[in-house]
Chains A and B, each alone.
Chain A
Amino acid sequence: MPAAEPLLQIERAEKLFGSRRVIDGLDLQICEGEIVSIVGPSGCGKSTLLRIIAGLDRDFGGSVSVLGHSPQLHSRDVGLIFQEPRLLPWLTVAGNVGFSRGRRGRDDPRIRELLEEVGLAEHATAWPKQLSGGMAQRAAIARGLFTQPRLLLLDEPFSAVDAFTRMRLQDLLLSVAAHHGTTLLMITHDISEAIYLSDRVLVLASRPAQLLGEVRVPLPRPRRRTHPMLGTLATDTMALLERTGTTSSSPSHGAESSDEADEATRHSDGEP
């Protein structure tokens, strides 16, 4: 549950592609230990936001601070997991997990531990081409955790795998994040995934990206996928999202939607 220290603090973030504004005045705060998902229409600037936080995109307005620093590449505190596993095909699974340490990392005992944790211990010496999509993404998760980041960014990490594998990967992510005390910020298109995994789900309007509303998920962990409240909250989120296409440009609508999100939270709190 949220602690006091803000791990990630974004104030009035702005991003222009040419003359097009893709992110506009976005505020976001994430505390240590939180699991937060961002949902929004395709191309609403979510991935751009993640790239900014990861330090891959330095050309933005406003202020972004990760653990009190401006975003930088190869910060050990921030890990990034992509939509595709992006394993380097010429390295073994173990070599990919320990990639950040290069050759010296080959015999690092942490590789073995992480591979065991994600269930790939027997595939340490396999080539990426020998892995299924789900196994490859598990290896990518292990690689993301290898630097022991405090904040792990995930860009639609499970969208390329089948539904069954997705559920297993979600639970795997939750267990390793809990084990390592990692804060998660995830982008997803899958609303039920967002609700099931997160403490908070942020709904973004489409271009330019603005915070349209927030749905809190006050359920204890471990959660049951069949819990009725998950469905209710997914419906609330869907209702917020439905507005994004048509009424995103006016700030007043954004505020209105935030109220609605609060309402949704209160509503949820009332249930057993």
Chain B
Amino acid sequence: MRARLQGLIIPVAGLIAWEAVVRLGLIAPNLLPAPTQLLGTVGELLGTGELLQDIAISCTRVAVGFVIGAGAAILCGAFVGLSRRAEALVDPTVQALRAIPSLAWVPLLLLWLGIDESPKIVLIAIGAFFPVYLNLVSGIHNVDRKLVELGEVYGLAGVRLIWRIFLPAALPYLFVGLRAGLSLAWMFLVAAELIAASSGLGYLLNDGRETGRADLVIVAIVTLALLGKLSDGILSAVQHRSLRWQDAYHNARG
């Protein structure tokens, strides 16, 4: 509890300093509105329903893109991790595609898929795919050979061996990948919405810039931060619940 309060010192002091600097006229309010002014903007956006609508649209895009990307990554990662043949066949291609900075896909996706929802979702899925894939493959490669042997002693093979030994043993790695993938999904959402969108939080960012309203930009930034933190918090809670068994330094601490 004390540590939590300590963590609040810098943000609270920062907010007070920010408010003071703007009120004293040291920075033009149209470039950096004071926190209290931002609250007004939030109220205004909530009143028109615009903010909630943007949040809903952005969250939907992230959720759909993340589920598609992570799902594909789990399938590919499981095959590549479990089968040497699949690894030899698939992994070099995936590694080569990984070398492409994901944003470089955007023009191509726009050309192929138009400017509606699909290019955004595909971009988010691409962003989420790689961390999940890489972590799952390395998780499966790191499964303790002795535990696999134990499974074999008890007659497990094929799907049952995967389900009862490999999957739970690789779960800690999978969660690391899922959390990294989710944070990339938010990043690519913003990229996609900045480039071509007429709704969503990325659009709000762009709109604020074009109309010279720094308050809209800051509200969008803070909202994105909160949503990112919230979604990661949910995933982290699931992770801790699923990995209670883990004998890790972090669990022992607290």
Which residues from A are CB-within-8-Å of B245? 89-91, 127-129
> Which residue of B is nearest A78, CB measured?
B153
Q: Which residues of B contact A54 (CB under 8 A)?
A: 153
Interface string of A134-151 (1 = CB under 8 A from B): 000000000000000000
Considering the chains assembled together, what is the distance between the CA atoms of A91 and B147 in angstroms? Answer: 12
Check if A84 is an interface residue, CB within 8 A of chain B: yes
Instruction: List the A residue with the shortest CB-CB distance to B169.
Output: A90
| B23 proximal to A (CB < 8 A) | no
Asked whether B247 is an interface residue with its Cβ less than 8 Å from the other chain, the reply is yes
For B244, the chain A residues whose CB sits under 8 A away are: 127
A80 lies within 8 A of B171 (CB): no
| Assembled-state Cα–Cα distance A86/B245 (Å) | 14
Q: CB of A102 within 8 A of chain B? A: yes
Interface size on A, residues (CB 8 A): 18
- Whether A102 pairs with B164 at a CB distance below 8 angstroms is yes
B246 at the interface (CB under 8 A from A): yes
| A86 near B150: Cβ-Cβ < 8 Å | yes
B154 at the interface (CB under 8 A from A): yes
Does A60 lie at the interface of the complex (its beta carbon under 8 Å from any beta carbon of B)? no
Q: Would you call B146 an interface residue if the criterion is a C-beta within 8 Å of the partner chain's C-beta atoms? A: yes
Could you say which residues of chain B place their CB within 8 Å of the CB of A84? 146
Query: In the complex, A80 Cα to B246 Cα: how many Å?
Result: 25
Q: A88-B168, A89-B245, A102-B164 are in contact. Are A80 and B153 (CB under 8 A)?
A: yes
| B152 within 8 A of partner (CB) | yes
Determine if B101 is an interface residue (Cβ-Cβ < 8 Å).
no
Contact between chains at A73 and B153 (CB < 8 Å): yes
Q: In the bound complex, how far is the Cα of B151 from the Cα of A100, in angstroms?
A: 9
B147 is contacted by which of A56, A73, A86, A129 (Cβ under 8 Å)?
Answer: A86
A129 touches which of B152, B164, B169, B246 (Cβ 8 Å):
B246
Q: Which of B22-76 contact A (CB under 8 A)?
A: none
B residues in contact with A127, CB < 8 Å: 244-245, 247
Complex CA gap A99/B164 in Å reads: 10
Judge whether B154 and A99 touch: CB under 8 Å: yes
CA distance A128 to B147 in the complex (A): 14
Also in contact, A74 and B246, with CB within 8 A (given A86-B146, A90-B169):
no
Given A82-B146, A84-B146, A90-B245, verify A74-B171 contact (CB < 8 Å). no
Cβ < 8 Å to A, chain B residues 148-172: 149-150, 152-156, 164-165, 168-169, 171
Residues of chain A lying within 8 A (CB to CB) of residue B149: 56
List residues of chain A with CB within 8 A of the CB of B152.
56, 73
- Expressed in whole angstroms, the minimum distance between the Cβ of A225 and any Cβ of chain B is 32
Bound CA span A234–B156, Å: 40
Closest to A103 in B: B164
When distances are taken between beta carbons in the complex, the residues of chain B under 8 Å from A56 are 149, 152-153
Contact A90 B171 (CB under 8 A): yes
Binding site for A on B (CB under 8 A): 146-147, 149-150, 152-156, 164-165, 168-169, 171, 244-247
Complex A-B, nearest 9 residue pairs according to Cβ-Cβ distance, in ascending order = A74-B155, A129-B247, A90-B168, A127-B245, A90-B245, A100-B154, A86-B150, A89-B245, A80-B153
